[in-house]
Amino acid sequence: QFRYRVCVQLKLRAETMVTSARMRIPYSRLNHNPNSSPHRVFFIPLCTSRRFFLLITAALLISFPYFAWSTEESMGGETRMPTKPRFSLDEMRGFALRKSLSTDYKPSYYTKSATSFDRMLMERSSRFDISATDVLVFVHIQKTAGTSFEKFLVRHLSIDRPCECTKKRKRCVCRRPGGNNNQTWLFSRYSTGWVCGLHADYTELAVSACVDTVLEKKEGAGNRRRYFYTSFLRDPITRYISEYRHVSRGATWMASRHMCNGRPPTPDELPLCFDPRVGWEGVSLEEFLSCPFNLATNRMTRMMADLTLVDCYDTTKMDRRKRDSIMLESAKANLRSLSFYGLKERMDDSQWMFQRLFGLRFTKRLSEWNKSKSNDTVVTPELMKKIREANSLDIELYSYALELFDERMERMKRDGLPVTVPEATLPSASHFIDDSPNEDRSKMILPINEEEEEEDDDRYEDSERYN
């Protein structure tokens, strides 16, 4: 009789725990009255068996911790929402690498000798040394003042051994001062060319290890290089309209490869918005905005993100909201990992930060170098609203970049690097700090006759070999 009563109680409590876990109802709220069980009559013969009594007792003892944990987890989900993704960015990157069978990337390249801003600021051994094995890599995002900055690097940098440039080829030889003539310190369009693809993005340059592969092929694999990735960003709305103007004048960037996980996107993954035999010259802003496959949309986020995390250009395998969220967080993480990034709207501050951080000096002021072309672009309030909505990821990324930029400026002023170039040649930090209230530039109406950055001719350039 005792065994029977205990058996019934154990059985009912087991059923109650299962129900609690499945229905996400606290165990204490469920009624486990033995007289209310519909299985009571059926269960009497089983409970009179000693063997069955021992079996159910053991099963209950083994399963109790699991059901208790499951119920606690289920109830926790009702009262509190997760504040961060379940997996870290590195874990998600690892999942994407393991899943892809066609990839030829090496996981070690994710952090292979990449030097971040924080390391440069905090570790003396991580300072850029142009005479050693350090390489400055520039990620050139279209219409962000990248052309001006790259020309400054090869033409207006005060170093012992300036770059030797050939005008007709738009190519410069940038050898290390006092070192091996076969080694370059700069990886950019004017020094090595578009060897990783026209306007190669972060995925092509860093994730695929194209930079390291190219330099090892050219200079040998014996050097332990350190890479200092840099880039420029711009207000998303003005950048988008600037790219539209550039495309309407004939630019297509058809030579871009968009390599990801060892292959370019298929026509199904990345259709073209125009007939390549005709081009897109003269396109209206409305048509430019209406194409869902226009890579101008959220370009900065896409080019700074690790696209292997979102199945590259295949948008069918992931919910759009999840894809956008992962891309944005990846772009923010990679932005933090850069050695330096500048802002087109704050060229003087960007120049001051670069010179202090890298211990190099420009012979001219970057903010005074912009040649301009006047353009009239009528942007109606309705079109402006659509442009903002289409580029919401870039707007959020740029807002984050502004905050991080200000934080870095303050850190460098407070406890930054010692001055390694003559103080007279360095712009004053206080002179460049903008003390005016922060404005949401994404909501500013684009002025007519906006001054354009120096026009580049990369619409005609193809990927060239580093030689």
Q: What is the pLDDT of residues 428-452, one digit of tens each?
A: 332 333 333 344 433 333 333 333 3
Catalytic residues, which ones?
199
Average pLDDT, the chain: 77
Residue type, 365: R
Distant-in-sequence, close-in-space partners of 102: CB < 8 Å, separation ≥ 6? 261, 262, 263
What pLDDT is recorded for position 5?
62
CATH code 3.40.50 region(s) in the chain: 105-436
Taking 80 as the threshold, does the pLDDT of residue 87 lie above it?
A: no
Residues 349-398 pLDDT 10s: 999 999 999 999 999 999 886 554 545 688 999 999 999 999 999 999 99
Is the full-model pTM beyond 0.85? no
Residues 308-336 pLDDT 10s: 999 999 999 999 999 999 999 999 999 99
**CATH tag for 105-436 (out of 3.40.1130, 3.60.21, 3.30.70, 3.40.50):** 3.40.50
What pLDDT is recorded for position 83?
43
Q: What is the mean pLDDT of residues 269-287?
A: 93
β-strand partners of 450: 375
Taking 70 as the threshold, does the pLDDT of residue 91 lie above it?
A: no
Residues 165-192 pLDDT 10s: 987 778 899 999 876 567 999 999 999 9
Q: State how far the Cα of 219 lies from the Cα of 131, in Å rounded to an integer.
A: 15
